[in-house]
Amino acid sequence: HTWLSENPDVSSAQIHDWLMEHYPKLIVGESTVRSYVKELREKYAIPKETHQRVYQAIPDPPMGQQAQVDFGKTNQKTPQGKCVKLYFIGFVLSHSRYKYVEWLDRPFTTKDMIRMHEHAFQYFGGMTDELVYDQDALLMVNENAGDLILTKEFQSYREARKLKVYFCRKADPESKGRIENVVGYVKGNFAKHRIFQNIDQWNESCISWLERTGNRKVHNKTKKRPVEVFTLEKQHLKPVIKEITTTSINSSITRTVRKDNTIVYQSNRYSVPLGTYQKDKDVYIEITAENRLVIREQTDGPVIANHIISFERGKLIQDRQHTRDRTKGIAAYISTVSSYFRDEERAIAFLKEIHHRYPRYVRDQLGIVLKLSKASDQRTRDEALCECIKRGIYSASEYSDVLAFIQRQQQQKEEFKRAEEEIKALHGIEPSLLDTQPENRELAQYLDVLKGATKYDTVT
């Protein structure tokens, strides 16, 4: 009566399981419990609401051919009266209905999912020819007219295990009805109204529930005990010779860096250092056992960000080191930028004038000057600084224009110089000969040569 009063929607089947759990020596039939629960409900006016879901009947596949996999989550009470969210993965052999369930007190990662696949294969003593899944983000990235794009980590595991996988279409519960029933069964018979102590004790209780009820109770449709049918189906499972660990799987997962220097993971935004963003740039993420999100620019490169994973949604998780350092003040910022010029005093005067003209946007102005100075050579930026001061230009955007103009001039000079060298090379003679002058003779020398010449000779 206490159980019914506190949990009006509890089923008689769950009451029977609770009796078996609390009083192992008690011998009582489920029909007897069902009749007694019905009597108590009528006597004390404790009605029960039922929610029925309709499925289409599908013939059972042969032994060892198929297993179905799905995820679920529940809200549980703690001894202190607090509410915690728990997550579980369920496996069921489609022929025998033999089940395996494992829980976490945080959302699953792909590594968790792979590890629990290995636990399920150990529990079953083998693996089926085919695994049926829902379209979960841990397993697949996208679907395009039947073409499935798997996550890189799960694809590596699939190839290592040589798994044949089948993903159900969206809004198609009939194709995975067996695991849908298991998820509902776990929620309604094991987890509902159960008090959560810790995750280890919870998983131990769940395994005990599987052995006591989940796999031993006569199935409503097959009218057989899953544990008995499993003894036959186990012989048809493929042996699992070597265990695959997550460390042997290529676990590099990528995320695209957004314009605000963040990446998205499980509906939350995580910051990366300012300046990381580039168009179509990806970074590599890793989820550690300590529930931290590690971000690298290269798979084996240095860590650029390390965050604690949030279980909420829509949150911005930001490292203060990834934001502008507003504690240093403008003076320190000006000192940093001026260090890129040879004449630092002149540069400081230039930057202070910019601060005077653009007090509200001084950080943006200094940031532009700093970025441009880093990207240019010493001579060019010094020349641009002198030109700006000479012409009374005190603006980061105009400094950018002057810098670009000087760079173009330098480029044109280099191109002209190269062209001049090419033209000289075309003469094919020693350049020093071009300065040679012809010898000048007096007119009398030519007259002496012509003395004695006749008119006829001259004409000839």
Among 50-54, 182-186, 296-300, 394-398, the range scoring the smallest mean pLDDT is 50-54
In this prediction, residues 392-405 reach a mean pLDDT of 90
Instruction: Please give the pLDDT value at position 310.
Output: 87
Each residue of 334-373: pLDDT tens digit? Answer: 888 999 999 999 999 999 999 988 888 888 888 889 888 8
Each residue of 402-418: pLDDT tens digit? Answer: 999 988 888 888 888 87
Residue 459 has pLDDT above 60, yes or no: no
Residue 453 — pLDDT band, cuts 50, 70, 90?
A: low
Among 13-22, 268-277, 393-402, 436-445, the range scoring the smallest mean pLDDT is 436-445
- Give me the chain's average pLDDT, please: 83
HSE (CB half, 13 Å, CA atoms) of 242?
6
Residue 455 has pLDDT above 60, yes or no: no
Helix (H, G, I), strand (E, B) or coil at 165: strand
- pLDDT exceeding 70 applies to what percent of the chain? 83
Residue 275 has pLDDT above 90, yes or no: no
Residue 221 has pLDDT above 70, yes or no: yes
Phi, psi of 70 (to 5 degrees): -160, 165
Instruction: Please give the pLDDT value at position 148.
Output: 42
Give the strand order in the sheet containing 66-77.
99-104, 83-93, 66-77, 130-133, 164-167
Cα angle, residue 282 at apex, residues 143 and 150 outer, rounded to 5° = 25
- CATH number listed for the domain at residues 66-246: 3.30.420.10
Of 432, 384, 437, the residue nearest 410 (C-alpha): 384
Cross-strand bridge partners of residue 100: 91
Residue 269 — pLDDT band, cuts 50, 70, 90?
A: very high
How far is the C-alpha of 27 from the C-alpha of 30, rounded, in Å? Answer: 10
In this prediction, residues 314-324 reach a mean pLDDT of 82
How far is the C-alpha of 78 from the C-alpha of 406, rounded, in Å? Answer: 71
Each residue of 139-181: pLDDT tens digit? Answer: 654 443 333 446 677 778 888 888 888 887 654 555 678 888 9
Domain range list for the chain:
2-44, 66-246, 252-322, 329-412
